[in-house]
Structure 1
Amino acid sequence: MSAKLNVGVIGLGRLGKVYLRDLATRIPETTVVAVADIDRTLAAGLADEFNVPKSYASGDDLIDDRRVEAVVIVSPTHAHRANVVAAVEAGKPTFCEKPPALTLAECAAMSSAVEKTGTFFQMGFMRRFDPGYAAAKEKIAQGVIGRPVVFKSSSRDPFRPSLEYANPASSGGIMVDMGIHDFDLARWFMGDVDTISASGAVLAYPEMASIGDIDNAIATLEFADGRLGVIDLTRNGVYGYDITTELLGDAGTLRIGYLRETPILTMTTNNVSHDTVPYFMERFERAYTIQLQNFAQNVLNQRAPAVTLDDGVEALRTALAATAAHHTRQRVKVSSIQ
């Protein structure tokens, strides 16, 4: 392996473009040598923009490219299993964006391939790399707030995604596509979730019913040791992209997140105002870069992955349990989701 990691990127949608930009221009440890997307014209155009020597219309062709030493997968979720299995069976260190897949059966195939080949695999959960969330994790380890006893997390999108994107057949639905970040944070900060209940409805966008999904949801969690949590998700946080987490401890509280994008307040008669964070690409810009750099450094220095496939599987299991709880209106034991 070279001093820099030669990376291929599969999937060049809205997030794939961000990953390509970071890997090509912001991370000194990586060189992008190939990109792939089913839209061959898009792939070729982005390859030209970022001086990438090769573009492909399929992930398999990119994986077969001998110059590609590691693979970053940002394809639609339904394509993750095939891309991950092919990459690790080729012996190429692999990074895969969340969620790992849409079903636990697909995850099992991915886990089997990783275990059999021993190929390096890192899961993508960028919030763990956000400076605020990383600092909170460290403060908990230092005992600053004592023992956290209640976890609260809120994710509010400023608008709904396209119906094509939001369709549960390809996204997994709001609990999986959107909530999996919060479920991962719940496990990261508090440990495994034992039981979960959830309710949700179409409250803001009637058209969401046409694809069988909801636009607002609330989940309540009981962790394995009896501690508590609550997560709320909405597609209609029209005032801005609002991501917050609060950890209530027996000796203090941590609150993570911010809403103001630009550090300026406008103060006029009887009015104080500021702008808001536009969307996830602005809020977690640094986290995405740090996450990918961590992946490259782990591969080059032969370190263990910071986020494992098991982390992805258990976050997905929790999200699927929340989905089941919403549909059945019954409290669901997370371990019952197989």
Structure 2
Amino acid sequence: MKLNQIKWGIIGCGNVTEVKSGPAFQKAEHSSLVAVMRRNKEKAADYARRHGVPKWYHQADDLINDPEVNAIYIATPPDTHAQYAIQAMRAGKPVYVEKPMALNHAECQKMIAVSKETGMPLFVAYYRRTLPAFLKMKELVESGVIGKPISVSITLVKGASEQDKNTSNDNWRVDPKAAGAGYFFDLASHQLDYLDFLFGPITRVAGTAVNRGGLYRAEDTVVASFAMESGVVGNGLWSFVADESATKDDLEIIGTKGKINLPSFQHTDLKLTTAKGTLSFSFQNPENISYNLVDQVVQSLRGEAECVSTGVSAARTNWVMEQIVQDYYH
């Protein structure tokens, strides 16, 4: 399909849409945000007022069926991604959905099937595929400056938040029924998707998930090993209940002639180390961090460009994560 002006509606105008994504739909050329929906009427109206959005709803059906809305961004927790995406695509509207793509890989496959059946494009918000530091890492790897890539190592270790320590915690991100798993699905999905972008699909994977903090039902510590179709092998460690002294955020790629290090979430310098020494590269992200990807989605819907993050690519990341944590949930 090809659209001229993209008129977006948002289902689920919560925190992620305040700065990270929402304003990007208004800033991209040939794009506007015309309606938002949230089940809480007061919060939906407040969001629309503060962001200059002309219409708001408190039922998803009303937004999906609004004739002015011709594309839909789904920013609810993962347990409703498939439901709303399928409904929107069957209503003839392309969909841009938050990550992870869905509650599980089976739901992702259903979404892809409906996208093919209806001809409606399906995109997923893995915006690191469009951020300057991560594009630089890809450029450096492909230039051969670190030689032949051998391995990749992901480390994401954090302390528990005060919210997590609260026994009345109602954080959906650590409720497997709403999120599919815990913070691992929420955060590692970005990292594993980026590796798919960098080295191709992960084809073999094994992992172990445990709960060491006892703060919530979901896993809080995960280890994994994997291999990509390109032959690069990797490992990962994720923990969200460690002592603050152990905090670490690092993505390291080792090659035959050097290595590259880049934090996944801290937005600090990329470091390239070779026999010549270490070079640092600094980057400025867009004010609304999803902007580059949103702009690319708009261009794709206008028939001007291909989008790097689709339902097909994003579903692979759901499969990988599911393989890693499956024993914990069975």
TM-score (norm 1): 0.80
Q: Are residues 241 and 59 of structure 1, via their aligned partners in 2, closer, same or farther at CA, if it must alter by over 3 Å? A: farther
Q: Are residues 258 and 126 of structure 1, via their aligned partners in 2, closer, same or farther at CA, if it must alter by over 3 Å? A: closer
Alignment counterpart, residue 168 of structure 1, candidates 164, 172, 176: 176
Alignment partner of 1:231 is 2:240:
no
Note the residue ranges of structure 1 that are not aligned, 5 or more in a row: 264-281, 329-338
Partner of 1:250: 256
Alignment counterpart, residue 220 of structure 2, candidates 194, 208, 215: 215
C-alpha contact 1:69 1:92 (8 A) present in aligned 2:
yes
Q: Are residues 157 and 288 of structure 1, via their aligned partners in 2, closer, same or farther at CA, if it must alter by over 3 Å? A: farther
In the alignment, the residues of structure 2 paired with residue 88 and residue 241 of structure 1 have an alpha-carbon distance, to the nearest angstrom, of: 41
Partner of 1:74: 75
Tell me the CA shift for residue 85 of structure 1. Answer: 1.0
Amino acid at match of 1:88: M
Q: Greater CA deviation, 39-48 or 134-143?
A: 134-143
Partner of 2:89: 88
Q: Greater CA deviation, 172-181 or 121-130?
A: 172-181
Q: Secondary structure at the match of 2:23?
A: helix
1:139-191 residue CA offsets vs partner (Å, 9 max, x unmatched): 22222222211011223455445543111111111342332222212222222
Amino acid at match of 1:299: L
Tell me the CA shift for residue 259 of structure 1. Answer: 8.1
C-alpha contact 1:121 1:305 (8 A) present in aligned 2:
no
In the alignment, the residues of structure 2 paired with residue 260 and residue 95 of structure 1 have an alpha-carbon distance, to the nearest angstrom, of: 25
Residues 141-180 of structure 1 mapped to structure 2, 5 A cutoff: 141-157=142-158, 159-160=160-161, 162-165=169-172, 166-174=174-182, 175-180=184-189
C-alpha contact 2:206 2:225 (8 A) present in aligned 1:
yes
Alignment counterpart, residue 313 of structure 1, candidates 303, 315, 323: 315
Q: Are residues 289 and 102 of structure 1, via their aligned partners in 2, closer, same or farther at CA, if it must alter by over 3 Å? A: same
C-alpha contact 1:77 1:101 (8 A) present in aligned 2:
yes
C-alpha contact 1:120 1:305 (8 A) present in aligned 2:
no
Q: Secondary structure at the match of 1:33?
A: strand
Partner of 1:290: 292
Alignment partner of 1:300 is 2:286:
no
Q: Greater CA deviation, 155-164 or 216-225?
A: 155-164
C-alpha contact 1:248 1:254 (8 A) present in aligned 2:
yes
Q: Secondary structure at the match of 2:219?
A: coil
Tell me the CA shift for residue 45 of structure 1. Answer: 0.8
Partner of 1:185: 194
Amino acid at match of 1:154: T
C-alpha contact 1:126 1:284 (8 A) present in aligned 2:
no
Tell me the CA shift for residue 231 of structure 1. Answer: 1.2
- More helix by percentage: 1
Q: Are residues 91 and 259 of structure 1, via their aligned partners in 2, closer, same or farther at CA, if it must alter by over 3 Å? A: closer
Amino acid at match of 1:192: P
Alignment partner of 1:199 is 2:208:
yes
In the alignment, the residues of structure 1 paired with residue 240 and residue 30 of structure 2 have an alpha-carbon distance, to the nearest angstrom, of: 36
Tell me the CA shift for residue 225 of structure 1. Answer: 5.3
C-alpha contact 1:201 1:217 (8 A) present in aligned 2:
yes
Q: Are residues 129 and 243 of structure 1, via their aligned partners in 2, closer, same or farther at CA, if it must alter by over 3 Å? A: farther
Q: Greater CA deviation, 301-310 or 115-124?
A: 301-310
Tell me the CA shift for residue 207 of structure 1. Answer: 1.9
Equivalent pairs, count: 305
In the alignment, the residues of structure 2 paired with residue 197 and residue 17 of structure 1 have an alpha-carbon distance, to the nearest angstrom, of: 36
Q: Secondary structure at the match of 1:194?
A: strand
Tell me the CA shift for residue 64 of structure 1. Answer: 0.8
Q: Greater CA deviation, 39-48 or 318-327?
A: 318-327
Alignment partner of 1:112 is 2:117:
no
C-alpha contact 1:152 1:247 (8 A) present in aligned 2:
yes
Note the residue ranges of structure 2 that are not aligned, 5 or more in a row: 270-283
Tell me the CA shift for residue 197 of structure 1. Answer: 2.6
Partner of 2:280: none
C-alpha contact 1:197 1:325 (8 A) present in aligned 2:
no
1:245-292 residue CA offsets vs partner (Å, 9 max, x unmatched): 1111122212122887799xxxxxxxxxxxxxxxxxx98855322121
Q: Secondary structure at the match of 1:141?
A: helix
C-alpha contact 1:147 1:249 (8 A) present in aligned 2:
yes
Tell me the CA shift for residue 77 of structure 1. Answer: 0.6
In the alignment, the residues of structure 2 paired with residue 230 and residue 185 of structure 1 have an alpha-carbon distance, to the nearest angstrom, of: 14
Q: Are residues 243 and 315 of structure 1, via their aligned partners in 2, closer, same or farther at CA, if it must alter by over 3 Å? A: same
